[in-house]
Chains A and B, each alone.
Chain A
Amino acid sequence: MTTGSTGMNSLEAASARGLLRAPLFHFLVLGFAGFAVAAVTRGPEASPLAVDAAPASPYEIVLDSWDIARLVSDYKLETGLAAGEDDKEALIATWADEEMLFREAMARGLYVMDSAIAMRLSTKMAFLDEAGEFSTDRARIERAVELGLHRDDIVVRRILVQKMKLVAALQAGADKVSDEELASWFAANRERFRQPPRVELEQLFFGSDEGAMARAGETLAGIRSGALDEEGARALSRPLASSPRLAAADENEIRKYFGDAFATEALTGADGPWRGPIRSAYGVHLLRTSNRIESALPGLDAVRSAALAAIRGEKRKAAVEKKLDDLRQRYTVRVEPEGVGLAAS
Chain B
Amino acid sequence: MKLFIQDAAHAAATVVRRTASALVLALVLAPACSAEAAPEQDWTRTETRDDCADYDPLRQPFFGETHIHTAYSMDALFVRTRTDPRDAYVFAKGGLLDLPPYDAGGVALRTGQLQRPLDFTAITDHSEAFGEAVHCLTEGLEGYNHSLCQGLRDVIAREFVGAPAEIPQEFVNLLLPLSIASPNHLPFCGPDDEYCLREASLIWQDTQEAAEEHYDRTDTCNFTTFNAYEWTYQPNQANQHRNVIFRNDAVPALPISAVDANTPSELWDMLEAACTDGEPGCEFLTIPHNPNVSNGLMFATTQYDGTPWDTASAERRARVEPLVEMVQHKGESECRLGVGGSTDEECGFEKLRRLTLFSEYTEELPPARSYVREGLKQGLRIERDLGTNPYRVGMIGATDGHASAAGATEEEDHAVIGHQGILDSLPDSMVSPYGPSGIQTNPGGLAVLWAEENSRDALFAAMQRREAYATSGTRPIVRFFAGRIPEDLCSDPEYVDKAYDAGVPMGGVLAPVNGKKSPTFTVLAQKDSATGASDLQKVEIVKLWIGKDRLAREEVITIAGDGDNGASVNTDTCEQIGTGAESLCTVWSDPNFRIEQRALYYARVIENPTCRWSTYVCNDAGVDCEGEVIPEGFEECCNPVWPRTVKERAYTSPIFYTPENIGLAKAKLRFEESPLGRLQAQVLVGLAPRDLDPAANDITIELGDDAPAWTGTIPAGTLEEKKAGRKWLLKDPDGANDGIRKLILVVNGKGTTKLKFDARDIDVSGIPAADGDLALRVASGDFDSTDTRPWILDGSSLASVR
Contacts and interface: CB of A to CB of B under 8 A. Distances in A.
Interface stretch (B55-63, B282-290, B758-766): B55-63
Contact of B477 (A74, A242, A255): A242
B477 A241 contact: yes
A155 B142 contact: yes
Contact of A1 (B60, B82, B496): B82
A116 interface: yes
Interface in B62-103: 63, 71, 82, 84, 86, 102
A249 B119 CA distance: 13
Contacts of B220: 195-196, 198, 248, 250, 298
A261 B202 CA distance: 46
Contacts of B478: 241
A198 B53 contact: yes
Contacts of A205: 493
B2 interface: no
Given A246-B56, A302-B50, A240 B583 contact: yes
B475 interface: yes
A279 B526 CA distance: 15
Given A255-B116, A303-B217, A18 B491 contact: no
A239 interface: yes
A189 interface: no
Contacts of A239: 489-496, 524, 585
Contacts of A40: none
A317 to B, nearest CB: 13
B206 A158 contact: no
B530 A260 contact: yes
A309 B212 contact: yes
Interface string B470-493: 000001011100000000011111
Contacts of B524: 239-241
B525 interface: yes
Nearest to A309: B213
B341 interface: no
Interface in A233-270: 234-235, 237-244, 246-250, 252-253, 255-261
Given A255-B529, A309-B212, A84 B104 contact: yes
Interface string A59-93: 00000000000000010111111111011000000
Nearest to A240: B526
Contact of A249 (B54, B212, B214, B219): B54
B152 to A, nearest CB: 11
B240 to A, nearest CB: 29
Interface footprint category on A: 35 or more
A248 B51 CA distance: 12
A240 B479 CA distance: 9
Contacts of B216: 306
Contact of A253 (B54, B55, B141, B195): B54
Contact of A14 (B203, B479, B583): B203
Given A76-B157, A154-B139, A237-B493, A193 B531 contact: no
B548 interface: no
Most buried by B among A82, A86, A239, A248: A239
A80 B527 contact: no
B134 A11 contact: yes
B206 A13 contact: yes
A116 B195 contact: yes
B138 interface: yes
Given A80-B156, A155-B141, A243 B496 contact: yes
Contact of A256 (B479, B529, B583): B529
A185 interface: no
Contact of A306 (B206, B214, B492): B214
A1 to B, nearest CB: 5
A241 B55 CA distance: 16
Interface stretch (A49-57, A138-146, A280-288, A335-343): A280-288
B498 to A, nearest CB: 9
A273 to B, nearest CB: 20
A302 B219 contact: yes
B529 A159 contact: no
B140 A155 contact: yes
A241 B531 contact: no
A158 to B, nearest CB: 2
B142 A1 contact: no
Given A157-B140, A237-B493, A281-B533, A302 B217 contact: yes
B531 A259 contact: yes
Interface string A1-24: 110100000110111011000000
A184 interface: no
A154 B527 CA distance: 59
A171 interface: no
A256 B63 contact: yes
Contact of B139 (A83, A158, A252): A158
Given A155-B140, A282-B582, A14 B205 contact: yes
Contacts of A79: 104, 156-157
Interface in B204-244: 205-206, 209-210, 212-220, 222
Contacts of A257: 477, 529
A177 interface: no
Contacts of B215: 305-306
A257 B202 CA distance: 40
A305 B134 CA distance: 27
A252 B117 contact: yes
A248 B53 contact: yes
A283 B582 contact: yes
A283 B584 CA distance: 13
Contact of B212 (A78, A80, A305): A305
Contact of A241 (B56, B202, B479): B479
B198 interface: yes
Nearest to B154: A77
Interface string B143-165: 01100000001101111000000
Nearest to B495: A239
A11 B582 contact: no
Given A239-B496, A259-B531, A250 B222 contact: yes
A81 B489 CA distance: 65
A110 to B, nearest CB: 14
B494 A11 contact: no
A161 interface: yes
Given A241-B525, A242-B60, A305-B217, A18 B157 contact: no
Interface in B523-539: 524-531, 533
Contact of B583 (A247, A252, A282, A309): A282
Given A116-B195, A252-B117, A259 B530 contact: yes
Contact of A243 (B58, B102, B201): B58
6 contacts: A2-B106, A17-B202, A154-B144, A283-B582, A298-B219, A305-B215
Given A2-B102, A18-B201, A79-B157, 15 more contacts: A10-B86, A17-B202, A158-B141, A195-B222, A205-B493, A208-B582, A239-B490, A239-B494, A239-B495, A240-B495, A247-B53, A260-B531, A281-B531, A282-B529, A306-B213
